[in-house]
Amino acid sequence: MTRFNNSLLVLAALTVAGCGELGSDKAFDRGPDSKDLLDLQAGIWVDPNGCDHWIIDDGIEGYLSARLDRNTGKPVCSGVAAPTQTVGDFKRGGTEIIGDPF
């Protein structure tokens, strides 16, 4: 039983260790193909409510944020695509280490 408890304790410690913050600069990719996030191409994903979200697929990581109007801060719902659909070349600039098989 002690071996099980020790294993559980080590697993819990490793899980919590993955929650730490790596740094304050969120504009830089820290993956195996590290690059500035400005080098990646964003597309637009339309949520079920019809509002736009910026989407980037880096192969390993993915990034998604709401598309907001610069002046009002309200969500942009442009109708550029049907709900739950994506437009744009959002995989361009992604990793070449792990390719996208689809």
pLDDT for 102 equals 47
Q: Distance of CA 47 to CAs 12, 39, 73, Å?
A: 35, 25, 17
Answer whether residue 16 shows pLDDT above 70.
Answer: no
Return mean pLDDT, the chain.
76
Q: Is 90 left (phi over 0), alpha (psi -120 to 50) or beta?
A: alpha
State the Cα–Cα distance between residues 3 and 97, nearest whole angstrom: 38
